[in-house]
Structure 1
């Protein structure tokens, strides 16, 4: 008998905990949705309410019309009725009006052909008022209550469209119903789904390994940071707030935080964001307030990343100086280059990825939206406002496209959005980077590359080729909104003003300046500037059916009338094009002593300074000549047909690096990896747990420890594995003896001392 009482007591405790969770979640939701609508607003809504529960001014006869306005009016009635500070608090007539309007809505069950409205938009909007009155409806009108619950849960129970943002949205749509029903099983399903949705994804629906957000990837991975990424963040955060303090909480949002810190904040400048990852609704600012509110909510959660999130919010809001850096989002063939005065990005495509989609009659002009689109934002006015309603969709910035008049395919849901070559990728050292693609679309092929170095963007093209074309092929440097007051050109150092509604073809010695972005030819091509239709356009005309043509031009997004000539001269002095052919594009920057290389094929490259770089498979490479290290990536991603890249670096016949770099077939395929080499060649020391001496350095290995002794003080020590990955680093040692834990580190290790001596340890 005593055991039975004890078991019953435990069971009762469980019920009480569940009830506490349900009450807590209802309170959390109410706190999130509480509003105090003005009396005039409520009066206007009530006057527009008809006897049948519909509202005047809303046409319910159009099947595909968005009728969320009906639901928002309903919600404001419920918010006024439930708020103690409101004039209409607990006013029975307001409650009756709400009942009338929700009965009309449930009965008519407006169902547009676009599934999203009935599955997501309508249930989510209804929740904002429903949560305040649903318990009263349950008591007073059980029949209506059951219809409402069924309506709200219906979409989730279909168990379709459950990936990424859609899955999170459908969960939120059904959430109030599940809580008021005290449906523990359904809430557990929600919790399990949210845990899956907030983990790193591998199928193009959600946050991927590079912390970019991807969606609608049925025809190829599609980076979709703004739009679906914004909706995903919003709904997951809502769920986290709604379930806080209960057993149904997902506990951690670290991947969402990393998405904001390591991805989203790199895509903002001057109150605008990059239009490249906005999907079918190309824009630069429409989601700004939502995004700032999302990050504000994340800051309020007081996690370990609070400070970094606050910095991201302040940068997005213009309250803090922009961060500087370079990021390659390899899962999306997309690079972002950030400086305090500008943002420049490039969105490429391959057989793995698609450009911005079309769908539901939006984005119909997006066929070339992933064809190497290089947006550059300096003032913030370049692509905002009405830009996307008037621009030429055959002249996306950075693209090489035939200017014919035939109707282009519409890339609905990413179909037709791929490039017909596997090669697209980039390499980054965190500050600067290089990206490249082998372009193959609509009968045009070309090797295209972009080198993001400091305040400069150098674009190279080679092997531009087409047969069976009927119109000129253009490479567009940029196409932006036009500000005629900020438009000039320079010939032989002399400034000339450009005006609107002109077309002008320049020689290679002409520099153009438009709204703070300078355009500097790096070759002998002729460049055309157009200022018609309130747009600034600058392009190279390669003619009809070009055969193996090249281009090279420089974008300078931080110059003025007073500085462009001197800065252009400086850039031409600092940057050297080392190679521009079918096998390789390479650039040397003397300010950083770095080589930036895109190997399109196996190739041996002789560089200035005596370096010779040889690869047996395509790759992207940055070589830092000062720090004796390099960065490498695989531009074929998971589609690479090879297992290794055989890379050798020599100088004056002395081997600096000669090894196989393993290619991972995973969601890290395409990621940048860092390796080290010696500028003095490799000194080898074989150790058999006994003392060895090499150039005044003694090394002992015993019981998993590496003891390093020197006759002189050692300043810095770095230890790498044979693949060049750093496994130990210590700065400012200032000692003659150091011990390093190398337990489990078998095989060849590379020890680097004082940045000028390398020892290979077996």
Structure 2
């Protein structure tokens, strides 16, 4: 182990000298632990302004007069301000550019403040603060103070480290991002105490979550779970990437560097999933878990740091990381260097469709996965977000900070009764869905997804067969078999996003008119154009439109957030199915990239799309442009289009691409993940073929797509 740490020291000293930092500036630069700590210091280096916080410092006992040390808040725990302020004091005291550099009075305040914290020992009812946040920040503070003109008393540092060890937990007892976060403060403590055994344990546990698993962590479909089978690409996905890439940078070039197989997994997740759910500088809101209820949470420009680290760790993909950084920094527009891509995450019940002109996703939930959580007083109106929620973005900021003013019964993509009070799921953590048929078929460029929605909880009593068909210029959204016994009207929300200064236009009764401020009901409009996105209604329907200011507060959805009133201009489109609909249907087509009304009309004339069936047994759409036929069979059935007949003996999702006179490509998936054999009979021009798609014993891949080349 000493050889290993020595290697770390040599690499770090070399990297410091290459950036203009002399080894003479490193305390005990020949000490391998100190060299590692210097790398940690560089990660957190800052030059804070502390005058405001000094005014609230209590000279008598080392506390801060405005901190509630008895608070039991589970989120934004007030006592953490104490450590954060002492950390700023420590960086001010040790930074030659700060006016408080080597200030003896400030040193005394830091020492007394640490003594107060240790004696008071505030305790949070949320374990995360006790076992992750507090130990990490104290560790960084102590590491920084080792560079000071004066050193903290050995006894004080020792008892703080003992408290960190006692309260901070063991990383092996946790999973995913939590394990990596705990391993981080083990690294800090091991360096401060020069404990080889603990450093080895920390490094082993830091990388151990970087594996594919059926539990919490990286899934075999390249999604990410935390808190059970709950999609958490953002939030906890952020955390594990932050921690693992941070530690990988510390150990780069040593025998404890991140193993190549783990680096490959990390790289694939980051490039193909994590950053793919970002458009421009913003992350799609439905992959953030309960964090969606926090201000500014969709803004992800700061995550460019992870990509910058990967440029050094994974140089084989340097150009991709540079493109990601360019988009996140705003140097290039949201569509820069994007290529067409379609992925259905069969483990996560999630679909992501990317085109240079737009990004569209669908979040579903089944009996295999958990609904979006609302724990710790956060995300209190999330109930419908897992029920076929969609993002439609071109720039990325279409939903930025809209959430406090949202009508949460009108989440984009969702079919729901307009209840006056959003219900809370049966449990704030890990409530499984009820659908037994949720999934999608994909060939990596095109695809179709399905969500057989049924919900009898809290008098919602609503069901629908919902499907999405993904092509190049458009996404076709169909619903059938809509039933409800709720006393409230049932809406399918097409979108609820921020309004723009550009005029919104509707074509209705052969006339184009501006949608002015207010709310309106239309019968069978042809289309709506708002913010460069066209919304077409090929089968008409009763359409509700609102273009108005909406009011709410962050506190309404997150009891740890401010109660201040928030107003935003919002634009909403819904299909109104009325009260207690029976066998209702809907159809709408999303066409992003429409700059003008003339472009919408031009698109209409092209007749790219044919909706061939929209019943509760079968939904089928054909793209005339790409010659692709997509079908959702909810039960055994047969479908004929011209001289092509497709018969399925079980429920499934199918995609047929005609390649020649008697050739085609068939893609099939089982959204029910029944692990059974599905038989498909195909007939065309008196020729036929039977395909046996065997999902028996497919295990974790039961929802994946299988492909067949067919020659009749």
TM-score, normalised with respect to structure 2: 0.86
Out of 179-188 and 359-368, give the one that drifted further.
Answer: 179-188
Query: Take 1:379 and 1:17, find their aligned partners in 2: how far apart are those partners?
Result: 45
Give the structure 2 partner of residue 512 of structure 1.
528
Equivalent-residue separation in structure 2 for 1:17 and 1:379 (angstroms): 45
What CA distance in whole angstroms lies between the structure 2 residues aligned with 1:486 and 1:341?
20
Q: CA deviation at 1:270?
A: 4.1
Match of 1:419 among 428, 433, 436: 433
**Aligned-partner Cα distance in 2 for 1:474–1:302:** 47
Q: Output the CA distance in 1 between the equivalents of 2:218 and 2:255.
A: 24
Aligned partner of 2:322 in structure 1 is 310
DSSP 3-state at the match of 1:237: helix
Distance change in 2, residues 1:565/1:14 (3 Å): closer
Q: Give yes or no for the alignment of 1:448 onto 2:466.
A: yes
Q: What are the within-5 Å matches in structure 2 for residues 73-472 of structure 1?
A: 73-134=85-146, 141-157=153-169, 162-203=174-215, 205-217=216-228, 221-252=229-260, 253-282=263-292, 285-318=297-330, 319=332, 320-385=336-401, 387-406=402-421, 408-410=423-425, 412-416=427-431, 418-442=432-456, 443-467=461-485, 469-472=486-489
Conserved 8 A contact 2:667-2:706:
yes
Distance 2:433 2:69 in 1: 43
Note if contact 2:172-2:205 (Cα within 8 Å) is conserved in structure 1. no
- CA drift of 1:624 comes to 0.8
Shift of 1:183: 2.1
CA deviations on 1:136-162 (whole Å, 9 max, x unpaired) are 899863321221111222344356861
- How far is the alpha carbon of 1:241 from its aligned partner? 2.2
CA contact (8 A) 1:450 1:460 kept: yes
For residues 610-759 of structure 1, what are the structure 2 equivalents within 5 Å? 610-626=643-659, 628-637=664-673, 640=674, 642-678=675-711, 681=712
Aligned-pair CA distance for 1:62: 2.8
Compared CA separation, residues 595 and 140, structure 1 to 2 (3 A): closer
Q: Distance in 2 between matches of 1:164 and 1:138?
A: 39
Note the aligned Cα RMSD (angstroms).
2.7
Equivalent pairs counted in the alignment come to: 653
Which residue does 1:604 correspond to in 2? 638
Aligned positions of 1:47-58 closer than 5 A = 47-51=55-59, 52-58=61-67
Unpaired segments ≥5 residues, structure 1:
1-10, 682-762
Provide the secondary structure at the position in 1 that maps to 2:371.
coil
The answer on whether the counterparts of 2:207 and 2:244 sit within 8 Å (CA) in structure 1 is no
**2:149, 2:117 → 1: CA distance?**
15
Once residues 140 and 476 of structure 2 are traced to their aligned partners in structure 1, the CA distance between those partners, rounded to angstroms, is 50
Cα pair 2:291 2:297 within 8 Å, conserved: no
Shift of 1:434: 0.9
Does the 8 Å CA contact 2:367/2:433 hold for their aligned counterparts?
Answer: yes
Measured at CA, do residues 498 and 161 of structure 1 come closer, stay the same or move farther in structure 2, by a change above 3 Å? farther
- Given the superposition, is the C-alpha separation of residues 156 and 56 from structure 1 closer, same or farther in structure 2, using an over 3 Å criterion? closer
Equivalent pair of 1:520/1:554 in contact (CA under 8 Å): yes
Q: Does 1:22 align with 2:38?
A: no
Deviation string for 1:419-449 (max 9, x for gaps)? 3221111112222221001111132121110
- Distance 1:200-1:536 versus aligned 2 partners, 3 A rule: same
Q: Deviation at 1:196?
A: 1.9
- The match for 2:511 is 494
Match of 1:585 among 619, 622, 641: 619
Pick which of 234-243 and 450-459 moved more: 234-243
Q: What is the alpha-carbon distance in structure 2 between the residues aligned to residue 128 and residue 550 of structure 1?
A: 58
2:492 alignment partner, one of 472, 475, 478: 475
Query: Could you tell me how far 1:326 is from its partner in structure 2?
Result: 1.5
Give 1:657 shift. Answer: 4.7
Alpha-carbon distance in 1 for matches of 2:220, 2:234? 18
Farther off after superposition, 484-493 or 168-177: 484-493
- Deviation of residue 230 (structure 1)? 0.7
Shift of 1:190: 1.8
The corresponding residue for 1:703 is none
Residue 623 of structure 2 corresponds to residue 559 of structure 1? no
Unaligned runs of 5+ in 2: 10-30, 551-568
Displacement of 1:59: 3.1
Deviation at 1:677? 1.0
| Contact 2:516–2:547 under 8 Å retained in 1 | yes
1:619 Cα shift?
A: 1.8
Q: Offset of 1:286 from its aligned partner?
A: 4.2
Q: CA 1:161/1:226 → structure 2, altered by over 3 Å: closer, same or farther? A: farther
Indicate conservation of the 8 Å contact 2:4/2:256, yes or no: no
TM-score using structure 1 length: 0.80
After TM superposition, the structure 1 stretch with the greater mean CA deviation from structure 2, 127-136 or 521-530, is: 127-136
User: Relative contact order (alpha carbons < 8 A, sep ≥ 6): 1 or 2 greater?
Assistant: 2
Which residue does the alignment assign to 1:544?
A: 579
Alpha carbons of structure 1 residues 407 and 491: separation in structure 2 relative to 1, 3 Å: closer
Deviations 1:685-741 (A, max 9, x none): xxxxxxxxxxxxxxxxxxxxxxxxxxxxxxxxxxxxxxxxxxxxxxxxxxxxxxxxx
Q: How far is the alpha carbon of 1:132 from its aligned partner?
A: 2.1
In structure 1, how many angstroms separate the alpha carbons of the residues matched to 2:629 and 2:697?
24
Residues in 1 aligned to 2:656 and 2:106: alpha-carbon distance in whole angstroms: 71
Q: Please state how far the C-alpha of 1:591 moved relative to its aligned partner.
A: 0.6
Provide closer, same or farther for how the CA distance between residues 602 and 124 of structure 1 changes in structure 2, counting only shifts above 3 A.
same
Equivalent residue number for residue 560 of structure 2:
none
- Judged with a 3 Å threshold, the aligned counterparts in structure 2 of structure 1 residues 407 and 355 are, in CA distance, closer, same or farther, namely closer
CA deviation digits over 1:153-173, x for unaligned, max 9? 234435686111111111112
Q: Deviations over 1:532-571 (max 9, x none)?
A: 4333222222222221121111112221333354244235
CA displacement 1:466-509 (0-9 Å, x = unmatched): 23x21211111111222364211113553211111232x22324
